[in-house]
Amino acid sequence: MLLIRCPYCEEERPELEFRNAGEAHIARSTNIAAESDEDFEAFFFIRSNPKGLIYERWRHIHGCARFFNAVRDTVTDKFVMTYKAGEPKPKLKEGSH
Amino acid sequence: MAKAATAAGTAALRRPAQAGREFSASAAKVAMLPPAERISLRAPEASVAALSKALGVKLPQAPKTSASAKGRTALWLGPDEWLVIDEAGGDPLADAAKAKDLHSAVGISHRNVAIAVTGAGAEATINAGCPQDLSLAAFPVGACSRTVLGKIEIVLLRTAADAFRVECWRSFSDYAFTFLTDAARDAAA
Letter string b/e over residues B39-72, b meaning 16 or more CB atoms within 10 A of that residue's CB: bbbebeeebbebbbebbebebbeebbebbbeeeb
B8 lies in some domain: no
Are the beta carbons of A62 and B77 separated by less than 8 Å?
A: no
Q: State pLDDT tens for residues B109-118.
A: 999 999 999 9
Q: What is the pLDDT of residue A39?
A: 94
ipTM of the complex model: 0.87
Range of the domain at B176: 19-35+111-189
A10, A17, A64: residue with CB nearest B148: A17
Model confidence band, residue B23 (pLDDT cutoffs 50, 70, 90): very high
Q: Per-residue confidence at B152, pLDDT binned at 50, 70, 90? A: very high
In this prediction, residue B1 carries a pLDDT of 46
One domain, residues B116 and B182:
yes
pLDDT tens-digit series, residues B62-94: 999 999 999 999 999 999 999 999 999 999 999
| Binary contact (B63, A64; C-beta < 8 A) | yes
Please check whether residues B82 and B144 belong to one and the same domain.
no
pLDDT of B9 over the 80 cut: no
Among A3, A9, A19, A67, pick the best mutation site for testing chain B contact (most B Cβ within 10 A).
Answer: A9
Task: State what percent of residues in chain B have pLDDT above 70.
Answer: 94
pLDDT at residue B187 is higher than 80: yes
Q: Both B126 and B91 in a single domain?
A: no
Q: Does the beta carbon of A37 lie under 8 angstroms from any beta carbon of chain B?
A: no
Any domain includes B144: yes
Nearest to A14 among B63, B132, B146 (CB): B132
How far lies A30's CA from each of A5, A33, A37, A67, in Å? Answer: 32, 9, 15, 21
Whether residues B67 and B132 share a domain: the answer is no
Which of B77, B93, B108 terminates a domain? The answer is B108
Residues B102 and B145 in one domain: no
Residues B98 and B117 in one domain: no
pLDDT in tens, B35-56: 999 999 999 999 999 999 999 9
pLDDT at A94: 64
pLDDT tens readout for residues A13-63: 999 999 999 999 999 999 999 999 999 999 999 999 999 999 999 999 999
Q: What is the pTM of this model?
A: 0.89
Q: Domain tally for chain B?
A: 2
- The reply to whether B96 falls in a domain is yes
Above 70 in pLDDT, residue B8? no
Question: Is B62 part of a structural domain of the chain?
Answer: yes
CATH number, domain of B75, equals: 3.30.70.1520
CB pairs under 8 A between A and B: 38
When pLDDT is cut at 50, 70 and 90, the band that residue B6 belongs to is: very low
User: What single string gives the DSSP state of each residue in A36-77?
Assistant: -HHHHHHHHT-----SSEEEEEEE-TTTT--EEEEEEETTT-
Quick one: CATH architecture of A3-84? 2-Layer Sandwich (3.30)
Is A13's Cβ below 8 Å from some Cβ in B?
Answer: yes
Q: Is there a single domain that holds both residue B54 and residue B95?
A: yes
Tell me: do B31 and B115 sit in the same domain.
yes
Biggest alpha carbon distance in chain A?
45
Whether residue B85 lies inside any domain: the answer is yes
pLDDT at B93: 95
User: What's the mean per-residue pLDDT of chain B?
Assistant: 93
Closest approach of chain A CAs to the CA of B43, in angstroms?
14
By the CB < 8 Å criterion, does B79 face chain A?
yes
Answer with the one of B52, B75, B108 that is the final residue of a domain: B108
Give pLDDT, residue B10: 65
Question: For the residues B161-173, what does the mean pLDDT come to?
Answer: 97
Residue B13 counted as domain residue: no
- Are B95 and B181 contained in the same domain? no
Q: Which of B73, B92, B108 finishes a domain?
A: B108
Q: Looking at residue B132, what is its pLDDT?
A: 96
- Contact across the interface for A63 and B81, Cβ inside 8 Å: no
Asked if residue B9 is part of any domain, the answer here is: no
Confidence label for B13 from pLDDT (cuts 50, 70 and 90): confident
pLDDT of residue A96: 57
B29 and B117, same structural domain?
yes
Residues B143 and B119 in one domain: yes
